[in-house]
Amino acid sequence: MTVASTSSTSASPSASPATSASGESLLSLRGLSKTFDLSPPLLNRMIERKGKSFLRAVDGLDIDIPRGTTFSLVGESGCGKSTVAKLVVGLHAATRGKIRFDGTDLTGLHASARGAYRQRIQMIFQDPYASLNPRWRVRDIIAEPLRSFSITSGRAEEQREVGRLLEMVGLSAQDGDKFPHQFSGGQRQRISIARAISSKPDFLVCDEPTSALDVSVQSQVLNLMRDLQAELGLTYLFISHDLAVVDFMSDYVGVMYLGRLVEAGPAQRIFEAPEHPYTRLLMDTVPDITMARRDRVPVTGEVPNPITPPPGCSFNPRCPLASDICRAQSPELVAREGGTRVACHAVTGADGSSGRPAGAAHSPGARARGVA
């Protein structure tokens, strides 16, 4: 696990992410929020005397991803991790906050100006059966970004480049003549990867890229992704619910629960000494093939409805450490020893004097709460 460029991010416990990593992080999210309006039509609301209802899918996210590293977001379904992926690639517009990519805030850009960044930010999707057009030959699938960004000139050069990309992901140049249905799931995911890197991006958003694959194939794809990262200097935002996969892939990890970051920091530190009770719960529920913990007691409770989250810390109904303050007040991320940030009253409260809210000064938007 390479934790090369962490020295400045994790130097002092009081360092906020904005000041420490602004010089070298390729992607910085500041107070990023996405709220979906789920209200019924006006007439229904008047008849039923109901207010508007909102789903806060992502709520004040602060993340820095240094160039050439992998940042993973983990969490259960509905925690907002895929929404973050869509916000970063521009498939959703942010409600609040900033997405700073290589120094430029993408949220403020006009659609036409954003085009240049689409070439540099590409995405790999979860389902390789749904993300490749079944009626297109593989070479056209991979060549589409080359054409739309005018990367190659002329058909011969385009075909050479497609062949080179196919070989790079472990397929052969002749495979370009085939259709997606002639490939297995793992090979299709290789095609998705070839398409994603064809526009020579420096940033890849990978939303559960191996969840649809069998284990023996998953390891092939994960190895390939790490090789490509080393070879091309790619930066990954990696989204997964599988902690073992995240541990293998990541330099940094952010754990999300109901739209908020509950713990974030260097992967090694978080996997060795998870602090937030939810992170510990997640680690504890990973099925253990060594059979060492066969008789452990499973954690109770489920993720609450995100439309009506509990007051205070949204994890409090399931938390073994919950106290009165957890039910009243939502905790802020506090910088901890080892370069991590944790949002938990029980963890940071005991020695609360040592840490101050990390990044709070830089994300005033994240403080605004109480949407109707």
On whether the CB atoms of residues 290 and 300 are closer than 8 A, the answer is: no
For another protein, the closer of residues 126 and 218 by Cβ is: 218
Binding site for another protein (CB under 8 A): 1, 76-77, 184-187, 214-220, 222-223, 226, 241-245, 247-248, 268, 271-272, 281-291, 294, 297-300, 302-303
E strands present in the chain: 25-37, 54-66, 70-74, 96-101, 104-105, 121-124, 203-207, 235-240, 252-257, 260-266, 334-335, 341-342
What is the torsional sign of CA 359, 363, 369, 372?
negative
- Minimum distance between the CB of residue 110 and another protein, rounded to whole angstroms? 39
For another protein, the closer of residues 16 and 187 by Cβ is: 187
For another protein, the closer of residues 244 and 371 by Cβ is: 244
For another protein, the closer of residues 281 and 342 by Cβ is: 281
- Minimum distance between the CB of residue 78 and another protein, rounded to whole angstroms? 9
- Minimum distance between the CB of residue 132 and another protein, rounded to whole angstroms? 16
On whether the CB atoms of residues 344 and 273 are closer than 8 A, the answer is: no
For another protein, the closer of residues 22 and 285 by Cβ is: 285
How far apart are alpha carbons 143 and 147 in whole angstroms?
Answer: 6
- Minimum distance between the CB of residue 108 and another protein, rounded to whole angstroms? 35
How far apart are alpha carbons 180 and 134 in whole angstroms?
Answer: 6
Report phi then psi at 326, rounded to 5: -65, -30
Map tokens 């109480």 to a residue. 370
CA distances from 207 to 21, 66, 112, 239, 304 (A): 24, 19, 25, 5, 23
For another protein, the closer of residues 148 and 305 by Cβ is: 305
For another protein, the closer of residues 121 and 246 by Cβ is: 246
3-state secondary structure of 302: coil
- Minimum distance between the CB of residue 372 and another protein, rounded to whole angstroms? 25
- Minimum distance between the CB of residue 195 and another protein, rounded to whole angstroms? 20
- Minimum distance between the CB of residue 213 and another protein, rounded to whole angstroms? 9
Q: What is the dihedral of CA 186, 66, 230, 193, to 10 degrees?
A: 30
